[in-house]
Amino acid sequence: MNLVASSICFALCLSFAASAQGLEDDINFYASESCGGRVCGTPGGALAAEYTAWRFGRIGLRPFGSSYMHRFDTNGRSATNVIGMVPAFGAASASRYVIMAAHFDNLAPVDERFYPGADSNASGVAAMLGVAKQIVDASAGGKILPYNIIFVALDARQPDMAGAAELWRMLVAEDLTDPLSGRGVKAANIVLFVNLDTIGSTLAPITAGRTDYLLMLGGSAQQKALLKEKNLRDEAPLELGFDYYGNPGLTEMFYRRVSEQKIFLDHGVPAVMFTSGITDYTNRPEDTPDRLDFDVLLRRTLLISRWLESVR
């Protein structure tokens, strides 16, 4: 049995509702040796893209065209962005879009040691899948979404965020055909870009000793107030931070320079980044699933889902 077939068999055992176990199962897959670090242009990277596309289908996202997978070339490598949508089903919202993205590629092996990238950024992709499931269920239950929501698993973050740049190119060229309207999605109709990047750890708390936290970088005052409102409705609210640990320089770096929202910010699109901060294990072979807290990751995923359903 080839890697794709064996992966599909493994995936059939997964729970597809947003749950701590479901998040753990997805991250275990992305961080497995079968994916080999999910390096762009490698069989492991292709396997991660195929798995993500299969998960999109199981969740019920609408593809743009005949496939969720949109291939492109970068630096002599074949890369794939995986793209699906939840439609707003409302005339007033039909031409407006929010993008939620998370990159799935990671670092190449060094001295035959592969980099699992459990937190960076299997956690972001798993959380995005969890959010997508919650949004699909809410929409099916009658929730009126204020925008169409496009979910994108981005390839080729290393070394130059080529996956995000390719997504922007497709929007400018109107290469993404809306599965409901049949019209090309325009870059001018993207009202918000939301990025999930390194979101599964509890090892870099805002307040020492408190592990249930979430950082939101960027966003309007209204969007921050909405996150606070949704958070306070929980019996056990998360601790929220709206900068990178009170450091303006690091906040600027992580928000505007080193993650995929940079591509959209550079073109004038408002953007938000959710993260749990880098740790001593980030971008190291020790970035393994056992370092993560899946119960806290689930709470973050559910909060972001509730926020995304209503964000303006």
Map out the domains of the chain as residue ranges.
3-310
The pLDDT value recorded for residue 303 is 97
10: pLDDT strictly greater than 60: no
Q: Tens digit of pLDDT for each residue in 99-128?
A: 999 999 999 999 889 999 999 999 999 999
Question: Distance (Å, rounded) from C-alpha 26 to C-alpha 111?
Answer: 27
- Cα angle 193, 195, 200 (rounded to 5 degrees) comes to 160
pLDDT band for position 15 (50/70/90)? very low
Kindly report the backbone phi and psi dihedral angles of residue 154, in degrees, each rounded to the nearest multiple of 5, phi listed first.
Answer: -90, 135
pLDDT band for position 92 (50/70/90)? low
What's the pTM? 0.94
CATH architecture of 3-310: 3-Layer(aba) Sandwich (3.40)
Q: Tens digit of pLDDT for each residue in 196-224?
A: 999 999 999 999 999 999 999 999 999 99
Mean pLDDT, range 274-286, rounded to an integer: 97
The pLDDT value recorded for residue 4 is 44
> Percent of the chain scored above 70 by pLDDT?
93
